[in-house]
């Protein structure tokens, strides 16, 4: 996110709100507890930010099934607490909220989702995000200055394990290095189609939303999507081709997600019209960047 913000706002002072560890490269790191509204009010009143980009979340879908309460606290309660603190302390500040395309859930069965597609979340992560998204839309009528961004699946260098592409890339890198953890490469459902973006394109979309905020209708929701659904198995094949290896594949029942939707695809016409946004990074470059990242991590 930092490179996109630096490019869009070269003169701005960029402050990272963190939970524990300092964020490297930012002008300042500030420890914030998103469950402490009074503390947030005081911090916001002291900083007087022009804008807040709210990315903090429990974003792992499988983990949300194991801890739905914690996921709701992180994704809904903390978001509403931050918004209330902003209304009280810095009502003039702009809020860009990272929601998710996962909110559409079962509605993807009817075709590509636009911003008017009904929410039908299929997991606790998406349920909490949908509730936060709705709450901020309602708070916009109370004076909160907010834009709600709904990116579909995205991946890139630096992403933590526990997501389909990073789990693939990590295992492929280990096989390539001759150090596999298991005799076979373990996967979940390969016959699923997902609309994937490079995370750098998503960051660019967030930066554009901040830059053009004052031209947007308050409370507006904006999808970020490639508009193309890719087969998950083909993503794995692309990584294997880059590595030049052919391990055996084992489908792990534990990796299959309940209430899964076969195909997800988004409509980003609004992002093109309002932000001038479109994906810029080729999918092959994304695959290569993710694999190279994991090659470096396992050394």
Residue 191 domain-assigned (yes or no): no
**Residue 179: inside a domain:** no
- For the whole model, what pTM was predicted? 0.95
Average pLDDT, the chain: 95
pLDDT at 256 over 60: no
Q: Is 166 among the domain residues?
A: no
Weakest-pLDDT range from 20-24, 154-158, 239-243, 272-276: 20-24
Cβ atoms within 10 Å of 294's Cβ, excluding its own? 25
Which residue has tokens 């995000």? 129
User: Is 8:15 a contact under the CB 8 Å cutoff?
Assistant: no
Instruction: Give the whole-angstrom CA distance, residue 294 versus residue 299.
Output: 9
Residue 133 CA neighbour count, 13 Å, CB half: 27
Tokens of 159: 């992403």
- How would residue 258 be classed by pLDDT, with cut points 50, 70 and 90? low
For residues 111 and 191, what is the distance between their CA atoms, to the nearest angstrom?
A: 17
- Predicted confidence (pLDDT) at residue 270 exceeds the cutoff of 90: yes
Total of domains in the chain? 1
- The answer to whether residue 56 sits within a structural domain is yes
pLDDT digits 0-9 by tens, 209-232: 999 999 999 999 999 999 999 999
Quote the domain boundaries for residue 115: 2-158+196-228+264-281
- DSSP reduced 3-state for 90: coil
Residue 142 belongs to a domain with what CATH number?
3.40.50.720
Q: Is residue 144 part of a domain?
A: yes
Domain-embedded: residue 147: yes
Residue showing tokens 């739905």: 68
Place of tokens 């990242």: 293
Domain for residue 71, yes or no?
yes
In the chain, pLDDT over 90 holds for what percent of residues? 91
Burial-class residue 47 by CB neighbours within 10 Å (0-12, 13-18, 19+). middle
Burial of 235 (0-12, 13-18, 19+ CB in 10 A): buried
At 18 the pLDDT is 86
Predicted confidence at residue 123, as pLDDT, reads 96
Residue 26 CB neighbour total at 10 angstroms: 18
Per-residue confidence band for 257, with pLDDT thresholds at 50, 70 and 90 = low
Tell me the per-residue pLDDT of 6-27, one tens digit each, with 9 for 90 and over: 999 999 999 999 876 667 889 9
Assigned domain for 104 exists: yes
131 has pLDDT over 70: yes
């Amino acid at each position: 996110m930092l490179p996109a913000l630096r490019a869009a706002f070269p003169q701005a002072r960029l402050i990272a709100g963190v939970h524990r560890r300092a964020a490297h490269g930012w002008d300042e790191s500030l420890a914030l507890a998103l469950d402490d509204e009074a503390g947030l009010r005081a911090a916001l009143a002291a900083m007087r930010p022009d804008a807040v980009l709210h990315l903090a979340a429990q974003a792992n879908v499988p983990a949300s099934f194991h801890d739905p309460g914690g996921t709701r606290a992180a994704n809904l309660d903390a978001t509403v607490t931050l918004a209330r603190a902003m209304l009280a302390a810095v009502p003039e500040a702009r809020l860009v909220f990272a929601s998710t395309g996962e909110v559409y859930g079962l509605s993807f069965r009817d075709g590509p989702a636009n911003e008017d597609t009904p929410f039908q979340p299929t997991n606790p992560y998406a349920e909490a995000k949908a509730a936060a998204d709705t709450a901020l839309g309602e708070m916009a009528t109370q004076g909160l200055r907010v834009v709600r961004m709904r990116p579909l699946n995205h991946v890139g260098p630096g992403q933590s394990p526990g997501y389909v592409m990073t789990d693939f890339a990590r295992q492929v890198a280990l096989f390539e290095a001759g150090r596999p953890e298991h005799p076979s490469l373990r996967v979940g459902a390969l016959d699923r189609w997902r609309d994937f973006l490079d995370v750098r394109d998503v960051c660019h979309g967030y930066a554009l939303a901040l830059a053009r905020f004052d031209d947007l209708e308050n409370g507006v929701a904006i999808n970020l999507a490639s508009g193309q659904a890719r087969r998950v198995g083909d993503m794995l094949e692309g990584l294997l081709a880059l590595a030049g290896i052919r391990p055996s594949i084992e489908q792990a029942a534990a990796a299959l997600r309940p209430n899964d939707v076969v195909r997800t695809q988004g409509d980003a016409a609004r992002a093109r019209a309002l932000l001038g946004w479109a994906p810029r990074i080729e999918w092959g470059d994304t695959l290569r960047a993710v694999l190279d990242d994991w090659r470096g991590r396992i050394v």
